[in-house]
Amino acid sequence: MAHIEPFRALRYDPARVAVSQVVTQPYDKITPQMQDSYYGASPYNLVRIILGKRLATDGPGNSPYTRAADFFADWRQQGVLKQDPDPSIYRYCQTFPVPGSGAQIERQGFIALGKIEDYSAGVVFRHEQTLAKPKADRLDLLRSTAAHFGQIFMLYSDPQRDIDKALLTEDAPSLEITDEYGVLHRVWRMSNQETIGLVQTAMKEKKLIIADGHHRYETALTYRNERRAAAGSPGDVSAPYEFAMMTFVNMDAPGLVILPTHRVVHGLTSFSMENFRQNASHFFTADEVDPALDARRATAILREAAHTGTSFVAVTRDRAFLLSRPKSPASAFEGVSLRQQGLDVVQLHKCLLEAALGISGEAIRNQNHVTYVRDTGEAMALAREGSADVAFLMNPARIQQVRDIAFGGEVLPQKSTDFFPKLLSGLTIYALE
């Protein structure tokens, strides 16, 4: 069901640039500070294309998107970006320390082109909602450059790990770099036709779940439809715009890590921890815990409390509570499927943010009063220093939950999953023209 193809990737020429100085984290994970750092690292850093700085003089003929197209064309002409000689797939391994544990593990996958499918075809499944603004931004970039610079992160199921085994090699990687988070990235170019054929055949049986890159996938889908319309629908179904660059990872293999994304609440007009505790007690048992606990201890408490069901640690300036042993009435989940009612993130949004604190679902979607923080210590610090009213620390979603929601045709609230580590942008580039 999943149609993949090898491709002749454009890649940075290591004879011209230090690849570690030009690749980046995904565009939506680049902070302003990281953007400045990337700009200073190299004049050929990919940030100039995927997240270029905006200027006061920007207009229709001069914008981050037109500059991105100019950089891309110039780097190709200079030979900074060189195209591989043969259609290939690219084995991609990431070795990394798991945040909060120190354990060192490896995630394996491969980069190839994946055919863009309508969700209705039952081949590609999403698990998160998307927003219009990021999709409009990525569409402008795709229209200007006609290229994909980062990979969409796709999951497939292969309990026997046949595809991973087919890609094993004793050859040295063609690329090996360590990023700013201590993640070792290694890439092997694989152009053997027999190997490619084995992988293609095995993938035909697979359904795909978007782990990361929902906005870019739906942007590629919109762009495909635009190009089809221009060519005369349905156009050439093997045309370059029918495909996007993807990294495929086996969800049944070790190395798949999902981190929690904590919720930090701020700007409430009359927040009282005691009132919140009383309201929250309708949904959970609220036990006061040591207000001086650190991030490691909070994580351990959450992990242990998870054995009794959904649990959270709520932290304010000078107090902390463990909210556990859920007892939410069915009325709290009106309009929510049974499949989703047991999810931690849904219980947090419905019972605590909406019911206990009175923040509307629309306000949450628009990120009014609620921000999202990956780092546990950072979330706690925001509450303790008074920059936030309360921080809700949570356990991560489980891959089985993501699988069930996606294949069930449902979507989670935004920022429900944080797959770690991210796929670097610029390791391979797929040019449509």
pLDDT tens profile 148-160:
999 999 999 999 9
Instruction: Tell me the per-residue pLDDT of 377-410, one tens digit each, with 9 for 90 and over.
Output: 999 999 999 999 999 999 999 999 999 999 999 9
- 66's enclosing H/E stretch is helix 64-78
Together in a domain, 228 and 291: no
Together in a domain, 73 and 205: yes
Together in a domain, 192 and 101: yes
Q: What is the C-alpha separation between 44 and 21, in angstroms, rounded?
A: 8
Tokens (6 digits) for 403: 């699988």
3-state secondary structure of 186: strand
Check: CB of residue 50 under 8 Å from CB of residue 24. yes
Q: What is the C-alpha separation between 399 and 421, in angstroms, rounded?
A: 15
For residue 193, the tally of other CB atoms under 10 A from its CB is 10
Together in a domain, 111 and 138: yes
pLDDT mean over 323-339: 88
Tokens (6 digits) for 360: 């509307």
Give a yes or no: residue 405 inside a domain. Answer: no
- 329 pLDDT band, cuts 50/70/90, is confident
Together in a domain, 220 and 312: no
Give a yes or no: residue 365 inside a domain. Answer: yes
Give a yes or no: residue 300 inside a domain. Answer: yes
Largest interatomic CA distance in the chain: 66
Together in a domain, 265 and 307: yes
Distances (CA, A) of 31 to 25, 53, 360: 10, 12, 28
Together in a domain, 208 and 307: no
Segments forming the whole domain that contains residue 178? 4-257+420-431
3-state secondary structure of 170: coil
Give a yes or no: residue 409 inside a domain. Answer: no
Q: Taking 80 as the threshold, does the pLDDT of residue 101 lie above it?
A: no
Together in a domain, 177 and 244: yes
Together in a domain, 212 and 275: no
pLDDT mean over 28-51: 97
pLDDT mean over 69-83: 98
Give a yes or no: residue 247 inside a domain. Answer: yes
Give a yes or no: residue 407 inside a domain. Answer: no
Together in a domain, 9 and 48: yes
For the chain, the domain total comes to 2
Instruction: Tell me the per-residue pLDDT of 250-306, one tens digit each, with 9 for 90 and over.
Output: 999 989 999 999 999 999 988 999 999 999 999 999 999 999 999 999 999 999 999
Give a yes or no: residue 312 inside a domain. Answer: yes
In the Cβ-directed half-sphere of 279, how many Cα atoms lie within 13 Å?
16
Give a yes or no: residue 406 inside a domain. Answer: no
Together in a domain, 325 and 425: no
pLDDT of residue 405: 93
Q: Taking 80 as the threshold, does the pLDDT of residue 84 lie above it?
A: yes
Together in a domain, 354 and 246: no
